[in-house]
Amino acid sequence: MFPECCMACNNLLLQNEDILCISCREELPVTHQHTAISSQVMGKFYGKVRIENAACYLYFTKGGIVQKLFHQLKYNKHPEISYFLGQLYAISLLDSNFMHGIDEIVMVPLHPKKQKTRGYNQVEGFAKALSEVFNIPINNKILYKTQKTDSQTTKNLLQRNYKRKEVFAVQNNSDKKGTHFLLLDDILTTGATLEVCSKKLLEIPESKVSILCLAQTV
C-alpha cells in the first residue's frame, strides 16, 4: 500500500534499489579524502589535538542531497540511512590503508535523554557497517555525555568554542592503554565536539585517535 520512495528525490524506488534511487546515488558528493596523504579535515584539528588521521565521506551543502538524507536520518526516524551510507563508505575504505591499526570504534555519544527521545544514535548504523566490514569491535561505553546541550547546528564558530564546557567523559579505561580508537560522528562542522571527545580518549595512556564522519559542511 505504501511503496518505497527515494529518501532524497522522493521518486519511487525500483525493485533493485534501496534508500536512494540510482540517479541520486550517482550524484552523492563524495570527497575521496581517505585516499589523500593529508586531508583537509586534518586542518580542523591542527594545533588543537593530536589526530592520527581524519576524513569525511560526503560534502554537506544547504539544500543538497546530503542535507535531505540527514534530515530523514535525524528527524524522520530513518536510522537505516546511517547503515546504508556506512556500507558505501566502508567499501570505499577497503581501497585505502585508513583502517589499518584501528582497535575499537567509538561513536560521539548522545545524552541518554536525547537518545531516548530520538530512539537511536544516528551514528549507530555507520558504526555497525564499519564493524561488519573490517571486523572491528564497537565500544559504546567508554565515552559518554555528562550533560545535555543545545543543538550545535544554529551556532556559529565563536558560540561553539567560547568557554565550551567539557560535557564528555570516559569510563574506567585501565585496560585500554595503547588503544587506537576510531571516533565517528555524522556531520563535521567546526570540529569542536570531536576535539573535546578526542582529548578525553587521549587521556588514556599511549592511546591514539582517528576520525571518520559521514559528511563535512562546505
What CA–CA distance (Å, rounded) separates 172 from 37? Answer: 34
Which residue stretches of 64-144 are H helix? Answer: 65-75, 80-93, 112-118, 124-134
Query: pTM for the full model?
Result: 0.89
First and final C-alpha spacing in the chain? 39
The DSSP H or E segment spanning 218 is: none
3-state SS assignment for residue 50? coil
pLDDT of residue 72: 94
- Which residue has 530523514 as its cell numbers? 72
Sign of the torsion formed by the C-alpha atoms of 140, 142, 147 and 151: negative
Residue 12 per-residue DSSP state: B
pLDDT of residue 39: 74
pLDDT of residue 162: 42
Mean pLDDT of successive 10-residue stretches along the chain, which has 218 residues? 86 92 96 84 93 96 95 93 97 95 96 83 97 97 79 53 66 87 96 95 95 96
